[in-house]
Amino acid sequence: MGEPPARLTQFLGSVRCQPDPAGPLGLTLRGRSAQYPQQELEVAFAAAAPADLPQQLRDACIECDAPGEYRITAGGRSWRLSARSVHVHRDAGAPFYQAIPGRPAPLGRRLLFAAMLALARSRLGVALLRAARR
């Protein structure tokens, strides 16, 4: 008996299917990652989209049956693709900025900007800022 299919990735909720018959990536799936629900997930196949694939899927799962052979499963149905390559893109911005928080501005700079904003609230202050700029 052969090995079970390897799970490439899993979507959570609504998944948009965007076929592109003219482009090198014939099918792109976009949605949220099941593993990290706050993360956008995009899977692009270098293959033609199946003819009966709907525009929307729900909780889609992508599995690799064999090298170059992939299966999309959603809602009790499945579609097979033969693709030269598959590209999985995850938005890593949120976890990155949680791990490396921004540095607070120094006190002197904060006071300078607060003073400039206070001046900018009045016509006289705007005139003073313009004069200082020259």
pLDDT of residue 2: 59
pLDDT above 90 as % of the chain = 59
* CA contacts within 13 A on the Cβ side of 107: 0
- Residue 79 structure tokens: 């579609």
Given a cut of 70, whether residue 112 has pLDDT beyond it is: yes
Mean pLDDT of the chain: 90
Reduce the DSSP state of residue 73 to 3 states and report it: strand
| CA nearest to 62, candidates 6, 11, 9, 25 | 9
**Are 67 and 31 in contact, with CB atoms under 8 Å apart?**
no
Most confident by average pLDDT, 2-6, 13-17, 37-41: 13-17
- Residue 21 structure tokens: 């018959």
pLDDT of residue 71: 95
pLDDT of residue 92: 82
Tell me which of 11-15, 60-64, 100-104, 115-119 is least confident: 100-104
Span 31-46, mean pLDDT? Answer: 91
Span 78-84, mean pLDDT? Answer: 93
101 confidence band (pLDDT: 50, 70, 90):
confident
Judged on CB neighbours under 10 Å (0-12, 13-18, 19+), 132 is: exposed
Instruction: Tally Cβ neighbours within 10 Å of residue 15.
Output: 22
**How do the domains of the chain map onto residue ranges?**
6-96, 104-133
